[in-house]
Amino acid sequence: MGKAYVFLLVSSSYLCANSKRRHESSPICLHDVFFRVGGAAAGRAAVNLLVNSSDTIIDHTWIWRADHGRGVGWQSNTSANGLVVNGDHVTAYGLFVEHHQEFQVMWNGEDGRTYFYQSEIPYDPPNQASYTSAKGVNGWASYKVSDNVNRHEAWGLGIYSVFLKPDVVLSRAIEVPQRPGVRFHDMITVALGNLGEISHVIDDAGEAARINSHVTPKVAEFPVTPAAPR
């Protein structure tokens, strides 16, 4: 079978990534959508769901790079990102994004919100060199808020690892700019399987999720609020 391409664009204003047209009186809605890259055949996609429109609501979406089935492999069913958001005022409910090879979610727009996020990072990086986002940073965070974003908020995020190769780890599950308008609530990481770890929950906060540690690291609020003096 030939290559299968999975791609959906939600956009306006001539499909421009820098579109600023508002739709607050009649928001765009995308719900109950399933993506799969590979598994039935060797599918490939750079970005599965690209949202350029502002005032978009995403409800119950599973964006999956296959981890089993036909044509599955690090070089076979390639997919960099599950979701890329360029629009402002985009809200996601029940967002599931798994196994993509770079950021599972890349959020570039302002005033984004996510209510419940589940993500399993890729099983199959063959080595750390193949899974490194920047100098000194192991892997690609599952949920990434762009460094130039000033306002973003998310509630209830769980990120899991199941590495299949030795000496592959993830530095952080969530990566965000540290600004007052960027706030995250109730996050958890879990290391499954027999290999690897997630070293931090969000940026450098939260202890490591390690195999056989019987610890599921949690961060309740970010930025972390310093404890009041006793």
Active site residues: 120
* Cα(41)–Cα(3) distance, integer angstroms: 7
Nearest of 111, 116, 167 to residue 138 by alpha carbon: 167
Beta strands 56-65 and 45-51 are unpaired
Compute CA distances 3 → 9, 73, 78, 124, 226, whole Å: 19, 14, 11, 20, 51
* Cα(35)–Cα(46) distance, integer angstroms: 13
Do the Cβ atoms of 99 and 81 come closer than 8 Å? no
* Cα(162)–Cα(147) distance, integer angstroms: 28
What residue has token string 């509630």?
A: 155
* Cα(85)–Cα(81) distance, integer angstroms: 11
Handedness of CA 35, 41, 46, 52 (dihedral sign): negative
The amino acid occupying position 30 is L
